[in-house]
A = this chain, B = another copy of it.
Amino acid sequence: MPTDNAPDSCAPRGHEEKRLSIIEAAADVFVREGYSGANIDLIAAQAGVSRQTIYNHHGDKETLFMAVVRELAERSNASYFNTISTFPDHPGDLQADLAAFAVRLNRNCICNRDGTFLRKLVQAEGERYPQLFEGWRDQGPARSWIALAARFARLAHGGHLELDDPDLAARQFVALINADLNMSMMLGAVPGDDALQASAGNAVRTFLRAFGKR
């Protein structure tokens, strides 16, 4: 091994490290170039691995793609449930605590690499692999919405909010905290911390005008 010709990541060592590195590079390339445009040689180079190794690990392009989606979906789900578990059930300052939660939700689940990647893949290839993506939705967003709605219901029950429909409130909360970010994220920009804070503040202010204890 005279020179390491891996351009991006230095050639990973173990068996599992290679598997991960392949998934990572493949996610990158699938998102950047689309399924058809994704080039196995490019993935191999970016993973610091030979093409044959990819075929050894994953069989073929379609299987690799599904492995990528599954991996991203798993991580994304984990992030969601982790973050939702930090919901302010006993808030001191409701505005501030909800805003901080909104920042966490945006930063860890919606604006991060896995979140944006997964959303792009769903948009681009969702109709070609319906069961794969419906499975993701049912395991992920659907369940995390229920979890979030339960937290809002508890907040209302504790006298901090006035809600008719906790599910609707959860959906609208998520919609509001992205209102300021959607357009810039469409073109691939990653919002900075100040943008996240501002967006969360605006969203929670409006949310509490609508649902705060009068």
In the complex, chain B residues whose CB is within 8 Å of the CB of A172: 176, 179, 202-203, 206
Question: Which of the candidate stretches A44-52, A101-109, A130-138 sits at the interface with the other chain?
Answer: A130-138
Contact A187/B37 with A206-B172, A210-B209 known, Cβ cut-off 8 Å: no
Q: Does A211 contact B (CB under 8 A)?
A: yes
In the complex, chain B residues whose CB is within 8 Å of the CB of A180: 168, 171
Top 6 nearest A-B pairs (CB, nearest first) are A36-B37, A175-B179, A34-B34, A209-B210, A210-B210, A36-B36
Measured CB to CB, the closest approach of chain B to A198, in angstroms, equals 10
CB nearest neighbor in B for A122: B186
Q: Does A33 contact B (CB under 8 A)?
A: yes
In the complex, the answer to whether A122 meets B175 with C-beta atoms within 8 Å is no
Kindly state the interface size class of chain A when it binds its partner: 35 or more
When all copies of this chain in the complex are counted, the total is 2
Q: Does A123 contact B (CB under 8 A)?
A: yes
Q: Which residues of A contact B (CB under 8 A)?
A: 32-37, 119-120, 122-124, 126-127, 130, 133-134, 137, 141, 168, 171-172, 174-176, 178-180, 182-183, 186-188, 202-203, 206-207, 209-211
Contact A35/B32 with A202-B168, A206-B210, A209-B209 known, Cβ cut-off 8 Å: no
A179 CA to B171 CA in the complex, in Å?
6
In the complex, chain B residues whose CB is within 8 Å of the CB of A171: 179-180
In the complex, 22 of the A-B residue pairs with CB atoms within 8 angstroms, ordered by the A residue number, are A34-B36, A34-B124, A119-B186, A120-B123, A122-B186, A123-B124, A126-B186, A126-B187, A127-B187, A127-B188, A130-B187, A134-B187, A137-B183, A137-B187, A141-B183, A168-B179, A171-B180, A172-B202, A175-B175, A175-B179, A206-B211, A209-B211
Measured CB to CB, the closest approach of chain B to A60, in angstroms, equals 16
